[in-house]
Amino acid sequence: MIKKVALVLIIAFNYCNISAQSNKKLALTPPMGWNSWNMFEGDITEEIVKGIADAFVSSGLKNAGYEYILIDDVWQGGRDNQNRMIPDPKKFPSGIKALADYVHSKDLKFGIYSDAAHYTCGGYTASYGFEKEDAKTFAEWGVDYLKYDYCHAPKEKAEAIKRYSAMSKALKKSGRDIVFAICEWGQREPWTWASAAGGNLWRTTWDSRDVWETKIYNGGHAGIMNILDKQVDLEKYARPGSWNDPDMLMVGLYGKGKSSSHGGGNGCTDTEYKSHFSLWCMLAAPLIVNLDVRDINESTKNILLNKEMIAIDQDKLGKQASRIIDCDDINVFLKQLSNNEWAICFLNRSKKTKSIDFNWNTFELNGKKIKVESKLKINKTYNLRDIWKHKTIGNTETNLKAKIESHDVLVLRLIK
């Protein structure tokens, strides 16, 4: 018993000490970028990554704030005779450093993947026991972001904290600023410890699937609505440099993604993708897309390039929205913004069009009194800016009356 207590105290001291050393300038707003996994899985190559980087520039994603190009699992080729991690020579014949240099030449940032065990989720070389070596290698390659998974690792929370703290400490000693993304799927409540263990963001759920909602929530079935519900009450843990991560954006996949289509993910409508994007922005979530950006259509661009919506996600105050109303298939999310402004999102989860009549003074929805604990005080008039119509539609002096289509959202910015 004494040994167990001592181990917990040592772990707590170590990750609190790491937290005190953390670089406060990293991820002050939620990271934005692209990840290879859902679209390509193990088929990723350096030519694909270069093409994605080029498309970031030509599509306008870069100008909109998307900056990270992230390679996920199955890039590894093992270790060399000095135990340094090496890439698969067929997929990455020029090496990772040359690829990172190419991404950097586009004024973008480069990220990579590993795992806190001997093997990754895909069964490839991982970093447990080689944290110092791998962190140094990643830094030499020019890596700016590390996604660190937890497949094949022990389930105990104390061991997870120990393993993530070890990599965090190694990254901080690598000589390069590297955003650290903890990916243990929310099973050990990382929102309570991941920041102290050195994480800049941490996954809160199982992997997302390209589907609006599933009846069962587990490792193979997690629709957009299932994951949304898991974010409720986590808002107090989000702040600049430390973000809840509800997994990647399915926007624009249309059922084409490999991993995102497992277990019933068969794609969403553009309306559902618009709502997905809006909700993740309200949640101050990382905005990491998965689609093949080289073949992006106009509907998807209109969603992902909505700079007014992105501004809500990237607001410097760093607040995650709270769900203040859950009534008759209508969810209402409220997010505090800088300069005494607010964002509010009305979500229609039903399969039918819904009418809303919202009283700004009492927070009554359709005449029903809802108990709401909110810091929003309507003691002055706010103008209502419709974020998707890009125009002012009224103010808070009168009730908000609107119709919201099935699975659609109404997002407003309250401006003084």
- pLDDT of 37 reads 96
- pLDDT of 4 reads 40
What pTM was estimated for this model as a whole?
Answer: 0.92
Write the single-letter amino acid at 123: G
Mean pLDDT of 40-60: 97
- pLDDT of 376 reads 57
- pLDDT of 378 reads 58
Number of Cβ within a 10 Å radius of residue 403: 11
11 pLDDT band, cuts 50/70/90, is: very low
1 pLDDT band, cuts 50/70/90, is: very low
Mean pLDDT of 133-146: 98
Percent of the chain whose pLDDT exceeds 70: 90
220 pLDDT band, cuts 50/70/90, is: low
- pLDDT of 21 reads 42
The label of the residue with tokens 């590390």 reads: 146
Mean pLDDT of 332-342: 95
Please write the tens of the pLDDT for every residue from 376-412: 565 579 999 999 999 999 999 999 999 999 999 999 9
- pLDDT of 379 reads 58
Residue 89 has pLDDT above 70, yes or no: yes
What DSSP assignment string belongs to 259-316? GGGGGG-----HHHHHHHHHHHHHTT--EEE-S-GGG--HHHHHHHT-HHHHHHHT-T
- pLDDT of 27 reads 98
Residue 341 has pLDDT above 70, yes or no: yes
By annotation, the residues acting in catalysis are: 149, 207
CA distance 267 to 293: 17
Percent of the chain whose pLDDT exceeds 90: 84
- pLDDT of 80 reads 97
183 pLDDT band, cuts 50/70/90, is: very high
Residue 262 has pLDDT above 90, yes or no: no
Higher confidence at residue 23 or residue 224?
224
CA distance 249 to 303: 11
Looking at 2.60.40.1180, 2.30.42.10, 3.90.420.10, 3.30.470.20, the CATH number of the domain 322-415 comes to: 2.60.40.1180
Residue 18 has pLDDT above 50, yes or no: no
**What's the CATH number for 2-313?**
3.20.20.70
Mean pLDDT of 281-310: 98
Write the single-letter amino acid at 189: E
Q: Domain segments of the chain: what residues?
A: 2-313, 322-415
- pLDDT of 373 reads 56
- pLDDT of 372 reads 61
Q: Which two tokens stand for residue 280?
A: 């993740």
Strand-pairing partners, residue 242, are 239
Number of Cβ within a 10 Å radius of residue 371: 7
Mean pLDDT of 46-68: 98
CA distance 206 to 227: 8
Among the residue ranges 133-142, 264-273, 313-322, 346-355, the one predicted with the least confidence is 264-273
Q: What are the angstrom distances between the C-alpha of 217 and each of 38, 326, 390?
A: 19, 20, 36
5 pLDDT band, cuts 50/70/90, is: very low
Mean pLDDT of 142-159: 98
CA distance 38 to 42: 10
Q: Is 245 helix (H, G, I), strand (E, B) or coil?
A: strand
Mean pLDDT of 264-283: 94
- pLDDT of 288 reads 98
Mean pLDDT of 302-306: 98
